[in-house]
Structure formats: C-alpha cells, structure tokens
Amino acid sequence: MAVAKVEHIKTIQRRGNLFVVSAPSGAGKSTLCRKLLNRMPDIKLSVSYTTREPRKGEVNDVDYTFVSREKFRKMIDKGEFAEWAMVHGNLYGTSIKRVKELNRRGYDIILDIDIHGAVQLRKSHEGAVYIFILPPSMEALEKRLVNRKTDSDETIRNRLDNAKAEISQYENYDYIIINDRIDKAYKELESIVLSARLRTECTDHKWIKKIIN
C-alpha cells in the first residue's frame, strides 16, 4: 500500500479560539498562562489596560498597558473595551482593537481576566472557552501570595477576602483546573487548548473538501 502524503496535514488551520482564564489572585494563573504562551505556538495573550501601579519587573505593553484613571475612563466612554471591571480597587479592561488584531492575524487568544469581566464576555462571546483555576486550599493560596512578595500585607488581606466570592462563581466556567502540582495543572490547561483546537468548527473545511474531491 502506498504511503499517504502526510505533508498536507501541516496545512490544516485550526485557530481562532478565545480562552478566558480566571482565578482568585495567587492561584497561579499568570504562571500557567506564561508557560502556555512559551510552549504552545500560535497562541497570544491580549495585553489588558490597567490603572494599577506596575509591580517590580513588570513591563509596559507586555504585562499590562499601564494608564491613568482619566485615560481609562476616556477609553470606556469611547467604547474601546470588550469588557472592563474594577478589581481589588483598580480598573482593568480588554481592548477590542487588540483582540480583533490578534484574531485577524490568525492567533488563538488568551484573556486573563476576573470573574466580572468573564460574565460580561459570556454575553457577547458565547463560543469562547471559559477556564477557572483554583488553588488546592485557602491556606495554599495565602502562602503563595505571601511568598510571591509582590503585595503589601493589606493588599494580600484584600485579595484573600475577595477569593471566596470569586471562587463561588466557578459554575460560570466550562473547565476547572486545581493548581496543586504545577506540572499536572499545566498539562490540564494544555489539554483544554488542544481539544478546543480540534473542534469541528475550528477545522479548515476547505482542506477536508480537497481530500474528498
């Protein structure tokens, strides 16, 4: 029997997914998303706008675009956000322009946003994949926030106070990952992305029709 011409398989296009990832602060969402962006091709983070002060090591337009409250309010008035929310006392928002641009370039997109932003997006982006990351326990969450050494005691208290309300929204998500061991949690996140890419609606129908004909 002749060997199939496998090079055609490489031409298949399976992109255009939107992955919405939420978690209580300190659960490990940034760590997991960073790993995914480094390891998987063709997936990009939509960089959010925020009024929060940059943390040590954070780079403007890479981690966030840091703007004043005045600028952020103007962007809200002009309808520039797909969603926005006040989180832990700061404003955060997803730029419609950035999402559209990444989509136009054929990338899968990750949105790292809070529970309120995810609820807003559900109304306009039904086809997105909603993923919630949980810590193994509240004690582990506190330990991680303290060990991260990026926030003051007061900020950590504020984030822990909000965590239970955030976790209670887990049913709004399609997938739950418990970030106990990082490697296991990463594998689970990668599996969700891979299986979303294999959905029939993401497949290159033209390529399949070419095989049939």
Place of tokens 């990082």: 182
How many whole angstroms separate alpha carbon 151 and alpha carbon 134?
20
Residue 120 interacts with ligand ADP (CB under 6 A): yes or no:
no
Whole-number minimum distance, CB 52 to ligand 5GP, in Å? Answer: 5
Residue 117 interacts with ligand ADP (CB under 6 A): yes or no:
no
Find residue 45's DSSP bridge partners. Answer: 110
Residue 51 interacts with ligand 5GP (CB under 6 A): yes or no:
no
Of 17, 28, 32, 48, the residue at the interface with ligand 5GP (CB under 6 A) is 48
Start-to-end CA distance of the chain, whole Å, equals: 21
> What does 13 interact with, of ligand 5GP, ligand ADP, none (CB < 5 to 8 A by kind)?
none
> What does 28 interact with, of ligand 5GP, ligand ADP, none (CB < 5 to 8 A by kind)?
ligand ADP
Diameter over CA atoms, the chain: 70
Residue whose C-alpha is closest to residue 160's, from 176, 178, 134, 142? 142
HEC states along 111-149?
EECCHHHHHHHHHHCCCCEEEEEECCCHHHHHHHHHHHC
> What does 114 interact with, of ligand 5GP, ligand ADP, none (CB < 5 to 8 A by kind)?
ligand 5GP
Site residues for ligand ADP per CB under 6 A: 23, 25-31, 144, 147-148, 179, 181-182, 185
Residues near ligand 5GP (CB under 6 A): 25, 48, 52, 83-85, 87-88, 92-94, 112-114, 116-117
